[in-house]
Homo-oligomer: A and B are copies of this chain.
């Protein structure tokens, strides 16, 4: 068993980390850390638990520690920190020899930091060697993409591999949990849509190109298609829904797209990583699916569901993709990254 800790353990993504790690096959959750406001308290007092299960028994009374490498007893730390805190703190952990599996955006686009979806670009893990050399670190930082990026890029991967990509237009309808527990006031969203999410479109438009890029031994050469996004908040608890319009390089019919999505196989499934869903992409044939309340928990929240794959009169195809934003799009993504690292690098 490998000892792991969660940084930012009291927030919503932190709670999902705890849920996923409480009884993990590889990992033993040995420490929780959070802001000074929470440090020193037993976890059940520090966190307002918002999930519809109870706090795991073995976690409830753990004393929350400060976010300080010297106080944490673990090999891997999972970071659910806000971006500005992550920016400052994560390098300190990496320098101190920890593997940092981060959900924060702070280092995602750094040249020598892997931005991973284990089903999509596991080979980018090799960038760790470059990173360690560059920065003279004993540990390292690996990151997962933005939640909206993940649902899109995972669905695009088999298309990219088989038909190439030229243009991708994405309009998202994103869940409330993506903004954190207090992020969206109810007064702002009941009977409403907010057609804006700060810095989200920029992330969606750039991260995918890095993820689908090629590692040339030194750096990632980004993929060359174009992405444009329009991001919206809707009154849904969990589960991001995205309407995607795709122009491929070679041309592709809806049936061809369905086939390559259905046939899609990936490394985490072959390695039987504990958090890997049986099917990373579930293709649905109903005329009105996927829907967040019905499909977000597919594959334990780690599968994405794709539906309404149909011909597009301007590009080639259009479809709907959906996934659980705090599991596949955040905590589960980081845990899967760490599992991949453990299994392939034998740390």
Could you tell me which A residues sit within 8 Å of B by CB distance? 12, 50-53, 167, 169, 171, 173, 176-177, 181-196, 205, 226-228, 230, 232, 234-237, 241, 243, 245, 287-297, 307-308, 312-315, 318, 320
Determine if A50 and B294 form an interchain contact, defined as CB atoms under 8 angstroms apart: yes
Bound CA span A173–B191, Å: 12
Measured between beta carbons, the chain B residues less than 8 angstroms from A294 are 50-52, 192
Determine if A293 and B182 form an interchain contact, defined as CB atoms under 8 angstroms apart: no
- Min distance, Cβ A216 to any Cβ of chain B, angstroms: 25
Measured between beta carbons, the chain B residues less than 8 angstroms from A227 are 313-314
Bound CA span A312–B169, Å: 10
Measured between beta carbons, the chain B residues less than 8 angstroms from A12 are 187
- Min distance, Cβ A92 to any Cβ of chain B, angstroms: 31
Determine if B181 and A187 form an interchain contact, defined as CB atoms under 8 angstroms apart: yes
Copies of the chain in the assembly: 4
Determine if A195 and B312 form an interchain contact, defined as CB atoms under 8 angstroms apart: no
- Min distance, Cβ A118 to any Cβ of chain B, angstroms: 24
Given A194-B291, A234-B193, A288-B194, verify A312-B181 contact (CB < 8 Å). no
B171, B235, B297: the one within 8 Å of A186 (CB): B235
The chain B residue with its CB closest to the CB of A294 is B52
Bound CA span A215–B10, Å: 52
Bound CA span A181–B182, Å: 12
Determine if B187 and A318 form an interchain contact, defined as CB atoms under 8 angstroms apart: no
Measured between beta carbons, the chain B residues less than 8 angstroms from A226 are 313-314
Bound CA span A230–B318, Å: 8
B195, B243, B289, B318: the one within 8 Å of A291 (CB): B195
Determine if B314 and A191 form an interchain contact, defined as CB atoms under 8 angstroms apart: no
Bound CA span A205–B310, Å: 14
B185, B187, B234, B291: the one within 8 Å of A173 (CB): B234
Determine if B314 and A169 form an interchain contact, defined as CB atoms under 8 angstroms apart: yes
Measured between beta carbons, the chain B residues less than 8 angstroms from A189 are 186, 190
B287, B293, B314: the one within 8 Å of A167 (CB): B314
Determine if A191 and B318 form an interchain contact, defined as CB atoms under 8 angstroms apart: no
Bound CA span A243–B196, Å: 11
Determine if A287 and B196 form an interchain contact, defined as CB atoms under 8 angstroms apart: yes
Determine if A228 and B313 form an interchain contact, defined as CB atoms under 8 angstroms apart: yes
B190, B196, B228, B289: the one within 8 Å of A314 (CB): B228
Bound CA span A191–B294, Å: 10
Most buried by B among A191, A205, A293, A307: A191
